[in-house]
Amino acid sequence: MARALLRSGALALLLVVAVSAASLPLARSDDDDDYKRCEGVVKGWADSSAANENGADKLSLKDLLFFLHIPRTGGRTYFHCFLRKLYTNDQECPRSYDKLRFDPRSPDCKLVVSHDDYSLMSKLPRERTSVVTILRNPLDRVFSTYEFSVEVAARFLVHQNLTSAKLMTTRVLMKSCAVSTLDIWPWKYLVPWMREDLFARVCLFTSV
């Protein structure tokens, strides 16, 4: 169960949407599958928010939408199935997922998506901005965070040892201009930690 929380100035709107954790990984290979999947997800959201509507809340979307993407809340699905259909590529602010290089001065952009926290609001025109975020049961988030950090760390096992895994990571991070998972909290801390643990276990297994 996840909740999308929408704040627009003084008016705080609470949209309750059901986002099942199982719907997070997206099938990108097959467009039809992808469409069906998104259709189901969006209908589910619509139904659950209709059921929770108390009439007083009116959604008033401002010029700029800031989607505050808290990790492991189904934000990727929300972005892919919902925001991607509402906004064109051109309407997304350049480098919006990238805190350090994000430039809010781009005049025509309408969508900012960020893993950053609410402090990003200080860079945005407050009176013209609506904020949406998704909340999820914190315990589910902890388990999901654990699983995802092990999954990402395990990708490094293609390297022979920890030293060469670290070396490759540094090289890739320096070359790439896109935001890497390893730049983002909490993966920034958890993945290197899990990676070290996984390599230590590999050593144990191969030395017996």
Ligand X SMILES: *[C@@H]1O[C@H](CO)[C@@H](O)[C@H](O)[C@H]1NC(C)=O
Q: Which residues are catalytic?
A: 126, 147
| Closest CB 183 distance from ligand X, rounded Å | 24
**Strand (E) or helix (H) holding 11:** strand 11-17
Binding range to ligand X, per CB under 6 A, among 51-59, 100-108, 137-145, 161-169: 161-169
Length of the chain: 208
H/E run at residue 15: strand 11-17
Nearer to ligand X, 60 or 163 (CB): 163
Of 18-26, 159-167, 177-185, 190-198: span binding ligand X (CB under 6 A): 159-167
Q: Burial code of 32-49, b = ≥16 C-beta within 10 A, e = fewer?
A: eeeeebbeebbeebeebb
Which residue, 164 or 176, is less far from ligand X as judged by CB? 164
Cis before 186 (ω within 30) = yes
Q: Which amino acid, 137?
A: N
Residue 160 within binding range of ligand X, rule CB under 6 A: yes
Residue 78 neighbours by CB under 8 Å, 6+ apart:
4, 19, 67, 134
Strands (E) across 43-156 are located at 64-68, 111-114, 129-136
Helix (H, G, I), strand (E, B) or coil at 65: strand
Is 163 a residue that touches ligand X (CB under 6 A)? yes
Of 99 and 166, CB closest to ligand X: 166
* Number of residues forming the site for ligand X (CB under 6 A): 4
Choice from 20, 88, 164, 170 touching ligand X (CB under 6 A): 164
170 binds ligand X (CB under 6 A): no
**CB of residue 182 to ligand X, shortest distance in Å:** 20
Question: Toward ligand X, which CB reaches closer, 163 or 170?
Answer: 163
Chain positions contacting ligand X, by CB under 6 A: 160-161, 163-164
